[in-house]
Amino acid sequence: MSVTQPRRRVSFVGILGELFITAGILVLLFLGWQVWLGNLIEGNEQRSDAETQSQAWNKGGSSAPAPTDRPDPGEPVVAPAPGNAVTFANLIIPRFGVDYTRPIAQGIGVRDVLEYGVGHYPSSVMPGAIGNTAYAAHRTGAGSPFFDVDKLQVGDSIYVETEDGWYQYRMRSLEYVQPTGVGVLLPVPQAPGVEATERILTLTSCNPVFTASERIIVYAVFETWYPRDGGAPAELAPLTATAAR
C-alpha cells in the first residue's frame, strides 16, 4: 500500500515574498542598466564636446602630426585663467583609448563643472606654468572621466590641449590620500613651503570605485609642448584625425 504525500500548502505570505524578491532583482537590473547606459551616453557627449572644441581651435592652426625634427618650441605659452565653469582645454590620455578626450572647465563645482567633464582647481596654475596644474573628475557617474585612472603607468603621456597647442606631461607616480589631503594641490605636492621649479600635473579622483572614502592621486611631469601652428603630437594622430573631420 502506497503512502500519499501530503500536498504542500503555498501561503499568501510566501508568494508575496517571492514576488518582492523578483521585483527587487528586476529593479536592481534596471537601475544598473540605466546607470551604465547613462554613463556611456554622458561619456560620449563629453568626448564629442571636446572634439568640437578641438575642431574650432584647429581652424587657426594645424591638426597634422608635428615633424619628428621639429624646432625647439621654446617656453610654453601660459594662458590667463578663465572664469568659473568656462571650458578652456581638453584632457587627452592615450592609455584610456585612442579616442579618449574630455573637456576641462575652470572650477571643481559638482553641478556646474564635474557633471560635464574635468575640473581645473582654481588654486593651481594653468597648463604649462611652473608649479602644479591640478584636475578633478568623477570615477563613477557623470561619464566617469577618471574611471581608469588607476591603470596609468609610469611614463604614460597625459596631454592638456588648449587653443595654444598641446602640453605633454608624463606620468611619474601614484598615491592614495584621505579626502582632507589637500597637500597634493601645493605648488610642489606634499611639500609645504617649497618653491616650485618644475611643471607638474596632478589628477585627483575618489577611491575605491563607487565610494569616496579616500582619494587616488596621479602625478605627472612636463616634458614638452606643441604649438598649434606646428602640428599635433604624432601620438595623437588617430584622435586629431577624427577631430579634423
pLDDT of residue 98: 92
What pLDDT shows up at residue 25? 58
Residues 146 and 139: beta-carbon distance below 8 Å? yes
Q: Regarding beta strands 101-106 and 118-120, do their DSSP bridges make them parallel or antiparallel, or are they unpaired?
A: parallel
Distance CA 122, CA 105 (A): 10
Q: Would you say residue 19 lies in a domain?
A: no
Choose between 12 and 101: higher pLDDT.
101
Catalytic-residue membership of 206:
yes
Position 88 scores a pLDDT of 98
pLDDT tens digits, one per residue of 120-134: 999 999 999 999 999
14 lies in some domain = no
Q: For position 31, what pLDDT does the model report?
A: 45
Residue 24 lies in a domain: no
d(CA 52, CA 103): 10
Instruction: Check residue 34 and give its pLDDT.
Output: 45
Count: domains in the chain: 1
pLDDT confidence tier of residue 30, bands split at 50, 70 and 90: very low
Domain that holds residue 171: 43-243
Q: Is residue 143 part of a domain?
A: yes
Largest CA distance in the chain: 102
Please report, for the domain that includes residue 174, its CATH number.
2.40.260.10
Nearest to 53 by CA among 105, 114, 124: 105
d(CA 171, CA 155) in angstroms, rounded, equals 5
pLDDT higher than 70, residue 242: no
138 catalytic residue (yes or no): yes
Across 17-26, average pLDDT: 59
User: Which pLDDT value is given to residue 41?
Assistant: 87
In a domain? residue 206: yes
The catalytically annotated residue of 138, 139, 199, 228 is 138
- Residue 8 in any domain: the answer is no
At 23 the pLDDT is 52
pLDDT level of residue 27 (50, 70, 90 thresholds): very low
pTM for this predicted structure: 0.85
- For residue 104, being part of any structural domain is answered with yes
Q: With bands split at pLDDT 50, 70 and 90, how would you rate the model's confidence at 212?
A: confident
Which is higher by pLDDT, 50 or 242? 50
- Percent of the chain surpassing pLDDT 90: 70
Among candidate residues 120, 139, 215, 228, the one labeled active-site is: 215
Q: Mean pLDDT across the stretch 151-160? A: 98
Of 47, 120, 199, 206, the catalytic one is 206
Closest residue by Cα to residue 179 from 201, 205, 218: 205
E strand or H helix at 120: strand 118-120
In angstroms, rounded to a whole number, what is the distance separating the alpha carbons of residues 165 and 70? Answer: 14
35 lies in a domain?
A: no
